[in-house]
Amino acid sequence: MWLTEACGDDPHEEDLFKIGQIDICRDQCNSEERSRCKAKHQDSASEKEKFLKKALKRCIARCGDNDDICLQLCRAMNTPPSH
């Protein structure tokens, strides 16, 4: 179960306020999870790479197909460093 599920289901497209609340909650959960994983696996490059790839997939799934800025931000925040 993703931590972001604790934020609730996706609201109706017309409810922009609720969409904003859910997005903020999910972003915060993803950020907290990324910080926990980095701290837990600070000495393991392979574990860091695994959790960053998972975070990238979650982030891209939230962006949808037509939001280039969102996709760029996802890649910037969650792409594992090159070796």
pLDDT per position in the chain (83 positions), as tens?
344 467 877 777 788 888 888 888 888 888 888 888 888 988 888 888 888 888 888 888 888 777 889 899 888 888 877 75
What pLDDT is attached to residue 18? 85
- Whether 6 is in a domain gets the answer no
Q: In terms of residue numbers, what domain contains 31?
A: 16-78
In a domain, 4, yes or no: no
Burial annotation 47-57 (CB, 10 A radius, 16+ → b, else e): ebeebbeebbe
What per-residue confidence (pLDDT) applies to 83?
Answer: 58
Alpha helices in 1-83 (DSSP H): 16-40, 45-63, 68-78
Cα gap 55→2, rounded to integer Å: 10
Domain count along the chain: 1
Give pLDDT, residue 28.
86
In a domain, 48, yes or no: yes
Whether 63 is in a domain gets the answer: yes
Please state, in angstroms and rounded to a whole number, the distance separating the CA atoms of residues 76 and 83: 16
